Amino acid sequence: MKDVADTLPTYDDVIAAHERIAAYIHRTPVLTSTYFNELTGAELFFKCENFQKAGAFKVRGACNAVFGLSDEQAAKGVATHSSGNHALSLSYAAGRRGIPCHVVMPRTAPDAKKAAVRGYGGQITECEPSTSSREAVFAEVHERTGADFVHPYNDPRVIAGQGTCSRELMEQVDGLDAVIAPIGGGGMISGCCLTLSNIAPNVEIYAAEPEQADDAYRSFKAGHIIADDAPVTVADGLKVPLKENTWHFVSHHVTDILTASEQEIIDAMKLTWQRMKIVMEPSCAVPLATILKNPEVFRGKRVGVIITGGNVDLDKLPWMKG
């Protein structure tokens, strides 16, 4: 059995990924808000991956995986399971390369994300909204197609691609004291850990998680992976558990994991829409919600806040009644 360390990406992989995907992604902007700075007592720098191609940071990892395939590998296409953003990002990347993309998605995934997958040419097979169902249905699809499996977050190619986001952030903002991002399976956080531990080891790394899907928080406190099968939260992108590769980065480099309630997440999302005039999905509001909840942790610091995506079902906004 291979040691996890043998499969982990390096910072050289992040640099290579950035060059490989440059033609297919946006260098997303960093926005600031005087209102949020005054509210939190910190200087916040929002890295807006909601403006990314396909509307989410996951395009970075997906493009790195797709465009790193040999022609022979690529001919059979790619396959994955995802609640949404990785699915549509992989579909986008596969479409740019002109190869098939097979996606297993929970039947409860937002209609906007399913429509985006189909719009990019992805072929959807639905499963029940649990990790066990997702992986069982995917096994059937994978065997049938022979496509290259691009895991949503545990894939070294994906982690290296996500590491390009914090690499850009460090080029765009000087003197950051901390970076905070949402955590589900841990792909983005692992990318942050990989990049920052190499180029800015003094920067603290915080992960933000819903209280109702807090398996990463409990794993962090326990010192080993604790996986929930089907948590229920408005932050639909953060329902999946950590895996071996992402746990390695989280356990070695994350300063702390903070949690927020469903109402705190919804309030932070709505406040960002109102004050910053940007569309962001519930999963992306979790970092701001935890900063508002724990101002003493961030007060007086320069903090990079990664807004991970903006793929929202506009007919089902979480503050709408009925």
Q: Residue 2 pLDDT > 50, yes or no?
A: no
314 is a domain residue: no
Nearest-angstrom CA–CA distance, 251 and 221:
10
Nearest-angstrom CA–CA distance, 280 and 274:
11
CATH number (domain holding residue 21)? 3.40.50.1100
Query: What's CA 101's distance to the chain center, in Å?
Result: 20
230 phi/psi in degrees, rounded to 5: -150, 65
Asked whether residue 65 falls in the same domain as residue 23, the answer is no
pLDDT digits (tens, 9 = 90+) for 165-210: 999 999 999 999 999 999 999 999 999 999 999 999 999 999 999 9
Asked whether residue 208 falls in the same domain as residue 265, the answer is yes
Nearest-angstrom CA–CA distance, 222 and 201:
24
Residue-level pLDDT at 320? 85
Residue-level pLDDT at 316? 85
Last residue of a domain, one of 108, 134, 149: 149
- Token digits for 232? 């229920």
**pTM higher than 0.85:** yes
Q: Residue 140 pLDDT > 50, yes or no?
A: yes
Asked whether residue 242 falls in the same domain as residue 183, the answer is yes
319 is a domain residue: no
Q: At what angle do helices 85-97 and 111-119 cross, to 10 degrees?
A: 10
How confident is residue 1, by pLDDT bands cut at 50, 70 and 90? Answer: very low
Instruction: Give the chain's length.
Output: 322
Asked whether residue 143 falls in the same domain as residue 165, the answer is no
The answer to whether 208 touches 153, Cβ cutoff 8 Å, is no
Asked whether residue 84 falls in the same domain as residue 163, the answer is no
